[in-house]
């Protein structure tokens, strides 16, 4: 059977002649759709109302919208009018059926006589008992930011179709109005799927949230090292959750029943560091009116977490090194020797490679601590984890404050994904806590965000940028960092792994501000001699 499918070379032309502008009924329909989208409400409800207007005003029946999976290119049916899709899981692979072809090519397609079209699959079964010969089928791509994010299709009674070009031009105009809403709906559904996957995945701690590749790698490393007594050095910017990772390692270790003692090295003056870590006897110094056990002695049988270890002074580093080497110490002002069984987990937000080169940090202490290095990525490298974390904090603070559960508007999601997050997860949490306090209704809007965030909503709309570009950039950053991690920071090998040139990788690394140095000692089997691999 010969296919009756028809692809226009240019929507809006017929026989080389331009089609006249939309008539009054069509303009009224476009105005009604635009009015629906301008009102606040659930995206899915707005899109369904728009499909209803198409049916009532234009005679386009059984309107359906499919969303495109950004990674696989698969189109899956999301919203429909006059078609019952409840309980159905309808999807099309790239190039499969008319919907799959439009999703893959980004070009409109039309069928004047549905009864003669072999490519029409009717997976919903909506036309099972209809005379398909009496129907025409129209299908157009929904394009946002130069990318196909969805597919809009509808039936129309064939005898009412005078010109397929004109019908496709009208449907394309509707698709343009729906583009941003469909894009936001696609990301909304993607996040829902990610949260579902996250709920099924095994993480070392319920406190650590993340589904991005870098976080999954981190979870695997934490699981590997937790069962041992190996010393761990956690590297990461301020606010990335180093304390949570240390707690997860302890809770998944055989020392679970022992204490976890945390020491903030940056907050202890040099004159008190020895007393704080190792304790003192009564009268050891002015003001020592009582004997005091040190933090190492308190952590006996458990774990000690030395946070911000890179801020220790040279004198404090020498004393800490001696304890790590000998596993024993003498409290200040005492002759007794205290032996301890303690696991060491250290953390720093400093670049210890630079501190080693400058002589600020002792090389022998570094190699004692850097047995199993872990790297916590900054929030800007974690892609879709930003929205997952935001949803988590919304749930947390609405419960704590006794407020009704709120949702994040698409505009807020765009801003959260576009922001650089210098304060990382801690800054995001503070931002959401503030928004929960200020939002009077059920939705968090841009006005409820801290003024420090770049609220460039108008500029984002002018440039048609936002969540998609931010997610794509985050995914690109994740690909590069994964390649650097796999090749231990070797940019030549990373370029081969990514199928590009070293020059391009170096350019993207410089543009994105990625520091390749932490990746050179980041794997579990990294050389322990401290010699960097070229």
pLDDT at 468 over 80: no
Taking only the tens place, the pLDDT of each residue in 356-395 is 989 999 999 999 999 999 999 999 888 768 888 998 899 9
Taking only the tens place, the pLDDT of each residue in 9-35 is 444 444 444 444 667 788 888 888 888
pLDDT at 202: 56
Decide: pTM greater than 0.75.
Answer: no
pLDDT at 458: 41
Residues 6+ apart with CB under 8 A from 164: 6, 8, 110, 112, 136, 138
Taking only the tens place, the pLDDT of each residue in 328-359 is 887 776 777 788 899 999 999 999 989 998 99
Q: Is-same-fold flag (233-376; 379-521)?
A: no
134 vs 89, more confident: 134
What is the spatial distance between Cα 209 and Cα 204, in angstroms, rounded to a whole number?
10
Extents of the domains making up the chain: 5-196, 233-376, 379-521
Within a 10 A sphere around the Cβ of 170, how many other Cβ atoms? Answer: 24
Give strand pairing partners of 444: 408
Please work out, in degrees rounded to the nearest 5, the angle formed at the alpha carbon of residue 420 by the alpha carbons of 426 and 432: 40
- Distance of alpha carbon 93 from its chain centroid, rounded? 25
424 vs 18, more confident: 424
CATH for 379-521 (2.40.160.210, 3.40.50.720, 1.10.8.60, 3.40.50.1000): 1.10.8.60
Average pLDDT estimate for 512-533: 55
What are the φ/ψ torsions at residue 326 (nearest 5 degrees)? -100, -15
Are 207 and 222 contacting, i.e. CB atoms less than 8 angstroms apart? no
DSSP label of 171: H
Identify the residue whose tokens are 């994105």.
512
Helix (H) or strand (E) holding 398: helix 385-401
Average pLDDT estimate for 220-245: 92
pLDDT at 201: 46
Instruction: Identify the weakest region by mean pLDDT among 104-118, 142-156, 194-208, 306-320.
Output: 194-208
What kind of architecture, by CATH, is found in domain 233-376?
3-Layer(aba) Sandwich (3.40)
Q: Which CATH superfamily is domain 5-196 in?
A: GAF domain (3.30.450.40)
- Distance of alpha carbon 341 from its chain centroid, rounded? 39
pLDDT at 411 over 60: yes
Q: How much is the mean pLDDT over the chain? A: 81
What is the spatial distance between Cα 370 and Cα 10, in angstroms, rounded to a whole number?
62
Percentage of the chain surpassing pLDDT 70? 84
Q: For the chain, first and last CA: distance in Å?
A: 63
Average pLDDT estimate for 500-524: 73
Average pLDDT estimate for 219-243: 92
142 vs 82, more confident: 142
pLDDT at 473 over 60: yes
pLDDT at 406: 85
What is the spatial distance between Cα 73 and Cα 148, in angstroms, rounded to a whole number?
9
What is the spatial distance between Cα 323 and Cα 95, in angstroms, rounded to a whole number?
65
Taking only the tens place, the pLDDT of each residue in 281-337 is 765 555 666 777 888 889 999 999 999 999 888 888 888 888 888 888 877 767 777
**Ordered alpha helix ranges (H), 235-313:** 242-251, 270-278, 295-298
pLDDT at 470: 59
Residue 141 pLDDT class (50, 70, 90 cuts) = very high
What are the φ/ψ torsions at residue 65 (nearest 5 degrees)? -125, 125
């Amino acid at each position: 059977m010969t296919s009756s499918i028809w692809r226009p070379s240019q929507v809006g032309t017929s026989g080389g002649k331009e089609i006249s502008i939309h008539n009054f009924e069509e303009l009224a329909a476009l105005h009604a759709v635009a009015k629906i989208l301008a009102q606040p409400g659930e995206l899915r409800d707005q899109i369904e109302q728009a499909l209803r207007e198409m049916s009532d005003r234009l005679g386009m029946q059984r309107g359906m919208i499919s969303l495109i999976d950004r990674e696989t290119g698969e189109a899956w049916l999301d919203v429909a009018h006059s078609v019952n899709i409840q309980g159905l899981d309808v999807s099309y692979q790239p190039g499969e059926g008319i919907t799959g072809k439009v999703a893959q090519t980004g070009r409109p397609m039309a069928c004047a006589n549905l009864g003669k079209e072999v490519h029409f699959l009717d997976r919903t079964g909506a036309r099972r008992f209809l005379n398909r010969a009496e129907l025409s089928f129209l299908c157009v791509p929904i394009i946002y930011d130069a990318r196909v994010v969805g597919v809009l299709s509808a039936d129309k009674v064939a005898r009412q179709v005078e010109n397929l070009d004109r019908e496709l031009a009208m449907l394309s105009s509707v698709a343009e109005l729906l583009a941003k809403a469909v894009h936001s709906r696609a990301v909304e559904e993607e996040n829902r799927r990610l949260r579902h996957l996250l709920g099924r995945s095994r993480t070392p701690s319920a406190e650590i949230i993340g589904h991005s590749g870098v976080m999954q790698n981190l979870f695997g490393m934490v699981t590997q090292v937790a069962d041992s007594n190996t010393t761990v050095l956690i590297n990461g910017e301020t606010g990335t959750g180093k304390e949570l990772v240390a707690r997860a390692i302890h809770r998944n270790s055989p020392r679970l029943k022992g204490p976890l003692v945390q020491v903030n090295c940056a907050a202890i003056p040099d004159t008190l560091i020895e007393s704080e870590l190792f304790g003192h006897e009564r009268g050891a110094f002015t003001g020592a009116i009582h004997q005091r056990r040190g933090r190492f002695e308190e952590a006996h049988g458990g774990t000690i977490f030395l946070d911000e270890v890179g801020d220790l002074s040279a004198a404090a580093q020498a004393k800490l090194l001696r304890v790590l080497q000998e596993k024993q110490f003498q409290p200040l002002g005492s002759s007794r020797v205290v032996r301890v069984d303690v696991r060491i987990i250290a953390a720093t937000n400093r670049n210890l490679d630079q501190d080693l080169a400058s002589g600020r940090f002792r090389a022998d202490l570094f190699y004692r601590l850097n047995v199993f290095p872990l790297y916590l990525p900054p929030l800007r490298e974690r892609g879709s984890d930003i929205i997952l974390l935001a949803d988590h904090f919304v749930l947390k603070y609405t419960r704590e404050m006794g407020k009704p559960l709120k949702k994040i508007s698409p505009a807020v999601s765009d801003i959260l994904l576009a922001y650089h997050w210098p304060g990382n997860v801690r800054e995001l949490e503070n931002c959401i806590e503030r928004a929960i306090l200020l939002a009077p209704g059920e939705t968090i809007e841009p006005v409820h965000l801290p003024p420090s965030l770049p609220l460039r909503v108008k500029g984002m709309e002018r440039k048609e940028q936002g969540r998609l570009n931010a997610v794509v950039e985050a995914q690109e950053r994740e690909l590069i960092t994964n390649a650097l991690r796999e090749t231990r920071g070797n940019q030549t090998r990373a370029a081969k792994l990514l199928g590009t040139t070293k020059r391009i990788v170096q350019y993207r690394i410089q543009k994105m501000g990625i520091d390749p140095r932490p990746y050179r000692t980041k794997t579990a089997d990294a050389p322990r001699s401290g010699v960097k691999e070229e």
